[in-house]
Structure formats: structure tokens, C-alpha cells
Chains A and B, each alone.
Chain A
């Protein structure tokens, strides 16, 4: 079953912040975040393993709440280059079988 992402779409002005949420009905071993620009392959952002860690990648960071089976992706001081569709992927068994959500389309405007 696919994880649920929210919001489905968001429009930001440059410099604004955004949060994308990912929620699963299953216990999670890991959560994966990818960004896909139009016409391109998804690009890896980060992986969070169970243990409730938080990771950062420049101005993009993420948290993983294992108990709530949720992850959130934080984009701060957004740039035009952040535009794209963000996917979370969840792995419930630790066997590398990742199930992706339906995506969050993010558009950053000047």
C-alpha cells in the first residue's frame, strides 16, 4: 500500500519554507526521499532509517518518527531549483522493496 503524501501540490515564493509529509499505515524500516524534475529521472535526496533520526542536506532536511510511521521533508529558504515533484518511498521489511507515494508537486516562483 502506497504511503500518503501531503500536500499534493504547493506553490512557494523564493525564500519561503515548505514541509512535505509522508505517512504510512505500516511499520517502517526506512524512508527514502527523491525529487524529480519534469522529463527527468528521480534524484535521490536522503534516506532515514528507523530510530527517529533527522538528516540534513544543505537547506533540505527530513525527520522520521518511527512510532507514528511518518516522515517530513523540510525545505527552507526555497530556491527556484527546488521546483519539482517530491516522492517519499517507504520500506517496511528492510528488504530494499521501496513503495513510493503519489508525490508532491512543488513550484517555486520568483
Chain B
């Protein structure tokens, strides 16, 4: 079974802090994704990566950056956290073949005070 592990289930940070959310997958998947989930807005794609050191903006990249130095790890960075970034963040990974499902982590509930 694919395992996608997010480093924290709950995280509380202060406005202006630099925040790192970590995600690790154990299936050698090429593709990895970061989503945020808010009530009534569903899952919105922030960034995705299709290979090491490769990244593409999703639908809502503003205020975020990402890092993928190793294939198994994909980090989401909030350069200067703001209260409107309080949300549930979900990481997912996906193999390179067509018609493969995304595998999600359990999510990180981030609160910015």
C-alpha cells in the first residue's frame, strides 16, 4: 500500500512566521501535489511537482512556494504566514502511468494566529 505521510496533523503558527509543511511518500511516485481544503471550496491545488526539482503552479499559488530536492519528499512553504492561510493542507502522490489514483496523506490542520 502507498503511504503518504505528512509531518504534522495539527500546527499552530503566528502571523509573519515562515512555515514548512513536509510530505513524504514511499512508492517512488513521480508526481506530488499540495492542496488546501476549505469549507465550501473543496480541494484547491496550490502546487504540484512531476519530478525532482520540477514544480508547476496550481490554481492558488500566491503566498506559497515548494521544494522538491528528493523524489520522496515535497515541502510546502509559507514564506510569511497570514491568517487567511489557516486551512487544512493535503498532500498527494501519483505514479507516472495514466489512470492511476492519487494517494492522499491525512492532512495538516494549520492555524495562523
A residues with a Cβ closer than 8 A to B are: 2, 5, 30, 32, 34, 40-44, 47, 49, 87, 89, 94-103
Contact = CB atoms under 8 A, between A and B. Distances in A.
A62 B48 CA distance: 27
A53 B59 CA distance: 28
Contacts, number: 58
Interface string B85-113: 00000100010001111111111000000
Nearest to A42: B104
9 contacts: A2-B42, A2-B59, A41-B106, A42-B90, A49-B99, A95-B50, A97-B58, A98-B102, A101-B42
Majority secondary structure, B binding face: strand
A100 B56 contact: no
B61 to A, nearest CB: 13
B43 interface: yes
A41 B101 contact: no
A98 B50 CA distance: 13
A99 B45 CA distance: 7
A33 B102 CA distance: 10
A41 B90 contact: yes
Contacts of B105: 41
A5 B4 CA distance: 27
A40 B43 contact: no
Nearest to A97: B48
A7 to B, nearest CB: 14
Interface centre among B35, B94, B102 (most CB of A within 10 A): B102
What are the 6 closest A-B residue pairs judged by CB atoms, nearest first? Answer: A44-B101, A102-B42, A100-B43, A41-B104, A103-B42, A47-B99
A20 to B, nearest CB: 13
A96 B35 contact: no
Nearest to B31: A96
Contacts of A103: 42-43
Given A40-B106, A41-B104, A41-B106, A94 B98 contact: yes
Nearest to A48: B99
Interface centre among B31, B43, B105, B107 (most CB of A within 10 A): B43
